[in-house]
Every structure is written in structure tokens, then in C-alpha cells.
Copies of this chain bind each other. A is one copy, B any other.
Amino acid sequence: MNPEGILLNIQKHVSLNEEEKAHLDTLFAIESFAKQHTILEQGRLCRKLFYVEKGSLRAFNGNQYGKESTIMFAIKDWWITDMYAFTNQTKALLSIETLEHCLLRSISFDVLEHLLLTMPKMERLFRILFQKAYVREQLRVLDNISLSTEERYLQFLSKYPQIAKKVTQKQIASYLGVTPEFLSSVKRK
């Protein structure tokens, strides 16, 4: 068992005994993907929730004209899926692609549902994770409706410096909701 990975991270929120650790370790499959691989494609059923042990990914929505909007990036120790489609087990609104070689742990919807019903500690874990995720998204909404593009760009850099190092300007622009050309002109100043 890798003491640097998912189990250690889970224990930041709930305590686990050896038996529980062993059990959880069997439930999260190990998956390895090459750079630029699409692990979820918009329109397909979203069956899995992923935890990032290594690498980085991007979740985005593409509209009918080919414009992409980046909903989130994920790096080491983040969870990622199309949570809307995963929760409702419907067609994905998002595509998720690896930005580099990735080592992920995955759990299917059914296995997770069963785990939540049988292990209260996991309800607690995900309650905490979703609570934090909700707060994070709400703060992002506030940024989106109250700040200028320049302010949002600087906020992104200071909030996620590790991500900023790994992704392109174009991807940052699509996360901020502006064109790459305009982001470039904002930076020029």
C-alpha cells in the first residue's frame, strides 16, 4: 500500500484502522493513463470517480461551435469526475483529459454507493469533501460575478500556482471564461 496516496489523504479527514485501510485499498482500482488521454468523453455515461495519485487533468465542456470551457483542473490529491453526470448516472456534460501521464485510483458509482451505505466513515469523508467543494465553487462564482478578468487571473495564479505551472494560457483563459487573445492583452499590462 502506498502511504503517500489515497489512504493517507483519506486519513486527513477520518481515522482508519488497518482492516479498513486494506479494504478501501481493494475498492479503489489503480489506473494508469498516457498524456492527452480522454478518460471521460462528453455525452458518454459517467461511471467513475477518480482520485489523482500522480499527474494532472482538465475537465471541460465543449459547445456546438467547438468553444471549450474549463470547469476544473485536478492535480495530485484532488478528486475528479463530472459530478453532475456521476451523481445522476446520466450523459456527461464534461470531457476529462489527462494533461500528462497520470496514475489514478477509481471507484465506480455502484461500489461507492454501497461503500457509503455500509461505512459511515465514508459518508463523513465525502460530506467533508463535498462541503469544501461547494464552498470552493461558491467562491469561484463570487469571483466570476464580482471581479475583473485581471483580478480573476491574479487570483488563479496565487490560489493554484502548481496548476498554473502545468497548463497553457489557452486553458487558463478557458477556465476564466475569456479568449486567449484577451488574456494575453491583460497580461501585457
User: What is the distance, in angstroms, from A50's C-beta to the closest C-beta of chain B?
Assistant: 16
Inter-chain contact B146/A144, CB cutoff 8 Å:
no
A69 partner, pick from B126, B131, B140, B142, beta carbons under 8 A: B142
Bound-complex Cα distance A124 to B113 (A)? 11
Q: Which residues of B contact A83 (CB under 8 A)?
A: 131, 134-135, 138
Bound-complex Cα distance A71 to B134 (A)? 12
Is A175 in contact with chain B by the CB < 8 A criterion?
yes
Q: Mark A99-135, 1 if CB is under 8 A from B, else 0.
A: 0000000000000000010001001101100111111
Is A29 in contact with chain B by the CB < 8 A criterion?
no
Given the contacts A116-B124, A127-B126, A61 and B135 also touching, CB distance less than 8 Å: no
Q: Mark A139-171, 1 if CB is under 8 A from B, else 0.
A: 111101110000000000000000000000000
Bound-complex Cα distance A70 to B141 (A)? 10
Inter-chain contact B146/A63, CB cutoff 8 Å:
yes
Bound-complex Cα distance A70 to B145 (A)? 9
What is the total number of copies of this protein in its complex? 2
Q: Which residues of B contact A182 (CB under 8 A)?
A: none
Is A177 in contact with chain B by the CB < 8 A criterion?
yes
Is A67 in contact with chain B by the CB < 8 A criterion?
yes
Inter-chain contact A131/B130, CB cutoff 8 Å:
yes
Inter-chain contact A84/B135, CB cutoff 8 Å:
yes
Tell which of A84, A145, A174, A176 has the most Cβ of chain B within 10 Å: A145
The 7 closest A-B pairs by CB, nearest first: A145-B177, A137-B137, A130-B130, A127-B127, A120-B120, A69-B146, A144-B144
A residues adjacent to B (C-beta < 8 A): 61, 63, 67, 69-72, 83-84, 87, 93, 116, 120, 123-124, 126-127, 130-135, 137-142, 144-146, 174-177
